[in-house]
Amino acid sequence: MPQHHKPKRPPSIGFTSLGCPKATSDSERILTQLRAEGYLISSSYQDADVVVVNTCGFIDAAVEESLDAIGEALRETGKVIVTGCLGAREGVIEAAHPAVLAVTGPQATEAVMAAVHAQLPKPHDPYTDLIPPQGVRLTPNHYAYLKISEGCNHRCSFCIIPSLRGDLVSRPVGEVMHEAETLVKAGVKELLVISQDTSAYGVDVKYRTGFWNGRPLKTRMTELVAALGELGAWVRLHYVYPYPHVDEVIPLMQDGRVLPYLDIPFQHASPRILKLMKRPAAAEKTLDRIQAWRAACPELTLRSTFIVGFPGETEAEFEELLDFLDEAQLDRVGCFAYSPVAGAQANELPGAVPEAVKEARRARFMEKQAEISARRLEAKIGREMTVLVDEIDEEGDAVARSPADAPEIDGVVFIPDAENLKPGEFVKVRITDATEHDLWAEKV
Ligand code: SF4
């Protein structure tokens, strides 16, 4: 009788993904390629033949977390390939962990694959085997990040992303549309458009005309967003700067083609601080622009992030920021106390603000915004809206999001006793209650 051998299992790769949505998107590409070539993805170190760690180098805490993750993977498996933003910082990883097999920067699928191949030959050819056409994603099935460009042409003084990722490189518009279409066909209900500066899409290629399904399409934010709006999924825009041409997407929001939601990282309101920060569009008349947008699209939700305690920020300049909050009435706001990032220009600015002052300002800022947010959410009680269900929690309540809520960073809409709903389902609800951040609703 022929002897049956247990088939040899394909090589298995462990994966640790740290960092921002842009890093997640890089991880998804690498994972997709690994699966395409027949590697197994292992969820534990014990089964992993090699571990890939996708790192973040943005702030010192992220650097530490990345170095710790590499250390742990090395201890457990001895075979580690490092990729991501921290990898782009010369010598940092090699100095801390000389035993790593290879180090690459962000957006380096090919280099990571070459390092994997050097350790473990590929089990099969991706062109002859099966992989879901939408690739492998780390986000739940019903929403996906769509990265439209990489790098940034700005040089904000607190940021080292341009030195890590280089100048803006826009992805071809046809490729972005193809990816978006594939995602929607695979069941994605919400596309989250991300980049370092979404409003700058196409600047590097002079808004070149590309093609999508044989139709000419400009490599430009307005045209891209209008085309995405035809796919039938929610389209949400992140990291937009308040340039004049952003006005063009507001009618698309008012028509319901794109979610009436803009994530604009204003970072400050004092012209002097914005200048020190070297922020893009710092000279634009932001409050006028916000007013005009709201007049054209009353449903518009504005989300933003701010930094308080930037070097040299005076009490008067901080108060200017609080006044701006009062005037702008933003819906969603994140606030960070300034923390120096190794290698950033802003570290050389005079007038470091003491930690205690920074923290006190952050608390005052958040208190003011909490009041604004609570008022704005309360005004929604009694209104009807469509929400997208993310999950059903242990108590049987549905946790959903309205057009005003981006996943992970904004609030949610709870629908009590909704076991019959499913993640990824759109539901019409009436808002019944509100807190500072979240809403409660019932099905209508
Ligand atoms: S816009 Fe400024 S903060 Fe954003 S990535 Fe570019 S340089 Fe950094």
Contact 260, 297 (CB under 8 A): yes
CA 11 / ligand 1 centre spacing (Å): 39
Give residue ranges with CB within 6 A of ligand 1: 152, 154-156, 159, 161-162, 196-197, 280
CA 307 / ligand 1 centre spacing (Å): 13
Please give the angle made by the CA atoms of 247, 250 and 253, to the nearest 5 degrees. 165
**Can you give the length of the chain in residues?**
444
The DSSP bridge pattern shows strands 209-212 and 215-218 to be antiparallel
CA 335 / ligand 1 centre spacing (Å): 16
Averaged pLDDT in 10-residue chunks for the chain of 444 residues: 47 88 85 80 85 88 90 91 90 90 88 89 57 64 91 91 89 94 92 95 97 95 97 97 92 96 96 93 83 96 96 97 96 92 89 96 96 96 97 92 94 93 96 95 96
Model pLDDT, residue 6: 38
User: What residue owns the CA closest to ligand 1's atom 1?
Assistant: 154
Model pLDDT, residue 441: 98
Model pLDDT, residue 126: 45
**CA atoms of 375 and 365, how far apart (whole Å):** 16
CA 90 / ligand 1 centre spacing (Å): 20
Model pLDDT, residue 128: 42
Of 56, 85, 152, the residue with max ligand 1 atoms within 8 A of its CB, to mutate for a pocket test, comes to 152
Phi-psi region of 33 (alpha: psi -120 to 50; beta: other; left: phi over 0): alpha
CA 330 / ligand 1 centre spacing (Å): 21
How do residues 133-182 score in pLDDT, each as one tens digit?
566 667 778 999 999 998 999 999 999 888 888 899 999 999 999 999 99
Model pLDDT, residue 21: 79
- Residues sharing a CB contact under 8 Å with residue 262, sequence separation 6 or more, in sequence order: 237, 240, 246, 293, 300, 301, 302, 303
Model pLDDT, residue 8: 56
Atom of ligand 1 nearest to the CA of 278: 2
**Which pTM does this prediction carry?**
0.74
User: What residue owns the CA closest to ligand 1's atom 4?
Assistant: 196
Atom of ligand 1 nearest to the CA of 153: 6
Contact 402, 387 (CB under 8 A): yes
Atom of ligand 1 nearest to the CA of 267: 3
Residue 164, classified by CB atoms within 10 Å of its CB into exposed (0-12), middle (13-18) or buried (19+), is: buried
